[in-house]
Amino acid sequence: MKGLIQDQPLLISSLISYAGLYHGEVEIVSRTVEGPIHRYGYREVQRRSRQVAEALLSLGVKPGDRIATLAWNGFRHLELYFGISGLGAVLHTINPRLFPEQIVYIANHAEDIYLFLDLTFVPQVESIAQELKSVKGFVVMTDEEHMPRTSLPRVMCYESLIGEQKGEYAWPKFDEQTASSLCYTSGTTGNPKGVLYSHRSTVLHSYCVCSVDGLGLSGSDTVMPIVPMFHANAWGNPYGAAMCGAKMVFPGEKMDGQSIFELLDQEKVTLTLAVPTVWLMLLQYLRETGRKLPFLKRVVIGGSAPPKSMIRTFEEEYGVQVYHGWGMTEMSPLGTVGNLKLKHQGLPYEERMNIKSKQGRAIYGVDLKIVDAQGNELARDGKAFGPLLVRGPWIASGYFKGEGGGIIDDEGWFDTGDVATLDPDGYMQITDRAKDVIKSGGEWISSIDLENDVMGHPGVAEAAVIGVPHPKWDERPLLLVVRNEGVEISKEELLDYLRKRVAKWQVPDDVVFVDELPHTATGKLLKSKLREDYKNFKLP
Ligand code: AMP
């Protein structure tokens, strides 16, 4: 027997319709590429995203067509989020930090037919425009006054394009499983692969963004997603903010400590989200200037593991709660969030810190399990570790155009490529990326654990641990360190520091001081490059 409940499709357009109607005055504040701060309300977002849809239809765009963006977090990008998906086309957010040849590959693979770009990226796109085979036109996301002289062919100005439209478009209804947006993973090996989200997966994920044990976003928040809108849809925040009518602040291209501080302070931001590198810059600025964060209540840190010292600094020095989250582009991206349970409330701070520094707790909607090499499920005891598998209604079932073949097993499990422990309460701790684990004499050494420990040393700005070939042990750990400016630390001092914290056989064999470490386009340590660079390194 079927239930007698209406079958309304879960569509992205319903999010902006709701926000426009009930939170019309709530502000979206953007630091623009042109310079000034721009502000308006959800009612305007709703009208202008309708204009975007009308403009695209007038250009001949049809449902299912891919429309690319190369843009920072800002109000026009938000309008494209709703306008493109709302009409049934696919928003393809491209990461501008990728190499030009990767951008060409991605745009051609996706067969993007229009490309919307921020002013910042005009020179970059000019240099590759001829290679973008499917692109029929380029739209610079600015007004006539700021339109640059450009060699881009078939170029249009965003404000002129949408300005001609009425903004009365009635959002169409269609199957909720329809593709809504596309985001390529910045894989460290092989070509990037496209994750194709649906309207349904996006709306369900938004409920999670707004649930208290998810990101806890609500209509009484001011949220600033610093995580880019080209990185797993800014972790779903633009959609979640519309779902609950949260005020939203977009930092544009300026992510240095001072610029971020100014927005946090002036706009009274209560919740903000970014990868650890961004927080390092902010914390350094706060230290240097003595500024405080009186309005900020919660910081979400994800994308890579924050050092414990970072969590501690936010909480102890600035009174800001830290939520450590984990996820992947393939997971929309929320997988786990580090909220505490009732039973943890009275625990001593150190014990709460230990829980908080794990990658987070299972949330409803994401099934997690860890397995051994044969695929048998391992114990949820917080000790056993193995490949982490996930499944759920906002997790990818395959990559765009079938790249990479089948990615889920018969029961729907997707192998994240992470190695983790799970405890009985559902807290997950990543011990490593499967590729980064150091295999020393049959034992596994977690590079992440070592990095986390080293980062606790006040002289260390950033650290990476990689395995280098060893004749006897197969692999041994090598520690690469970027020192804090003006600080002198020796190799022996660092190794001694580690000897007090980890088992003897896990202590790296050597330390190399470097000026900087390589990162991927989403800010993660690029360990494949380090392994390549140091593959002939002679350990003492
Ligand atoms: P991406 O798809 O670019 O977001 O990358 C996803 C990967 O980033 C995950 O599979 C993890 O390896 C890593 N990652 C994400 N969040 C965390 C975290 N909190 N701690 C450690 N690694 C993380």
Three-state SS across 21-39? HHCCCCEEEEECCCCCEEE
Q: Is 341 helix (H, G, I), strand (E, B) or coil?
A: coil
Q: What is the pLDDT of residues 9-51, one digit of tens each?
A: 999 999 999 999 999 999 999 999 999 999 999 999 999 999 9
473 has catalytic annotation? no
Q: What is the mean pLDDT of the chain?
A: 95
Strand 66-70 relative to strand 90-93, pairing: parallel
Q: Are 86 and 18 in contact (CB under 8 A)?
A: no
* Residue located nearest, by CA, to atom 6 of ligand 1: 328
185 has catalytic annotation? yes
Our answer on whether the CB atom of 328 is closer than 6 Å to any ligand 1 atom is yes
Counting residues of the chain whose pLDDT is more than 70, the rounded percentage is 99
**Looking at residue 524, what is its pLDDT?**
84
Q: Active-site residue among 176, 330, 451, 462?
A: 330
Burial of 344 (C-beta count, 10 Å sphere; 0-12/13-18/19+): middle
* pTM for the model: 0.92
Question: Please, what is the end-to-end C-alpha distance for the chain in angstroms?
Answer: 72
Our answer on whether the CB atom of 387 is closer than 6 Å to any ligand 1 atom is no
Which numbered atom of ligand 1 lies nearest the CA of 330?
A: 2
DSSP structural state of residue 408: B
Helices (H), ranges, 245-347: 257-266, 276-289, 308-312, 318
Q: Compute, in angstroms, the gap from residue 317 CA to the centroid of ligand 1.
A: 27
Binned at pLDDT 50, 70 and 90, residue 523 comes out as confident
Single out the residue of 260, 172, 223 nearest to residue 214, CA to CA. 223
The beta-carbon contacts of 495-504 under 8 Å, at least 24 apart in sequence, are 497/453, 497/454, 497/457, 498/450, 498/453, 498/454, 501/453, 502/449, 502/450, 502/453
Q: How far apart are CA 322 and CA 318, in angstroms?
A: 11
Q: Compute, in angstroms, the gap from residue 417 CA to the centroid of ligand 1.
A: 10
For 228, residues 6+ apart whose C-beta sits below 8 A from its C-beta are: 72, 73, 95, 234
H/E stretch holding 510 reads: strand 510-513
Residue ranges, CATH 3.40.50.12780, the chain: 12-202+224-252
At residue 109, φ and ψ (nearest 5 deg) are -65, -40
Q: Are 478 and 507 in contact (CB under 8 A)?
A: no
* Residue located nearest, by CA, to atom 15 of ligand 1: 303
Encoding tokens for residue 189? 């090996």
Q: Compute, in angstroms, the gap from residue 3 CA to the centroid of ligand 1.
A: 39
Q: How confident is the model over 64-92, as a mean pLDDT?
A: 98
Counting residues of the chain whose pLDDT is more than 90, the rounded percentage is 86
Q: Compute, in angstroms, the gap from residue 385 CA to the centroid of ligand 1.
A: 17
Our answer on whether the CB atom of 305 is closer than 6 Å to any ligand 1 atom is yes
Q: Are 53 and 62 in contact (CB under 8 A)?
A: no
Burial 178-209 (b: 16+ CB within 10 A, else e): bbbbbbbbbeeeeebbbbbbbbbbbbbbbbbb
Q: Are 233 and 93 in contact (CB under 8 A)?
A: yes
Residue ranges, CATH 3.30.300.30, the chain: 437-533
Q: How confident is the model over 290-300, as a mean pLDDT?
A: 98
369 has catalytic annotation? no
Encoding tokens for residue 268? 């009274």
Q: Are 187 and 25 in contact (CB under 8 A)?
A: no
**Looking at residue 288, what is its pLDDT?**
95
At residue 317, φ and ψ (nearest 5 deg) are -90, -30
Per-residue pLDDT at 188 exceeds 60: no
Q: Active-site residue among 439, 443, 505, 535?
A: 439
Q: How far apart are CA 435 and CA 425, in angstroms?
A: 27
Q: How confident is the model over 194-217, as a mean pLDDT?
A: 97
In CATH, 12-202+224-252 is 3.40.50.300: no
Highest averaged pLDDT of the listed ranges 180-189, 227-236, 444-453: 227-236
Q: What is the pLDDT of residues 396-435, one digit of tens each?
A: 999 999 998 999 999 999 999 999 999 999 999 999 888 8
Pocket test for ligand 1, best of 328, 336, 421, 446 (most atoms within 8 A of CB): 328
Q: What is the pLDDT of residues 230-270, one digit of tens each?
A: 999 999 999 999 999 999 999 999 999 999 999 999 999 99
In CATH, 437-533 is 3.30.300.30: yes
Least confident residue range of 76-80, 119-123, 400-404:
400-404
Q: How confident is the model over 458-462, as a mean pLDDT?
A: 91
Q: How confident is the model over 361-390, as a mean pLDDT?
A: 96
Which numbered atom of ligand 1 lies nearest the CA of 416?
A: 10
Our answer on whether the CB atom of 232 is closer than 6 Å to any ligand 1 atom is yes
- Cα angle 92-331-414, degrees, rounded to a multiple of 5: 120
Which numbered atom of ligand 1 lies nearest the CA of 301?
A: 19
Q: How far apart are CA 464 and CA 455, in angstroms?
A: 10
Per-residue pLDDT at 92 exceeds 80: yes
Q: How far apart are CA 493 and CA 486, in angstroms?
A: 16
Pocket test for ligand 1, best of 331, 430, 455 (most atoms within 8 A of CB): 430
Per-residue pLDDT at 439 exceeds 90: no
Q: How far apart are CA 165 and CA 51, in angstroms?
A: 5
Burial 65-82 (b: 16+ CB within 10 A, else e): bbbbbbbbbbbbbbbbbb
Q: How confident is the model over 306-321, as a mean pLDDT?
A: 94
Per-residue pLDDT at 189 exceeds 70: no
488 has catalytic annotation? no
Q: Compute, in angstroms, the gap from residue 262 CA to the centroid of ligand 1.
A: 28
H/E stretch holding 224 reads: strand 222-225
Per-residue pLDDT at 187 exceeds 70: no
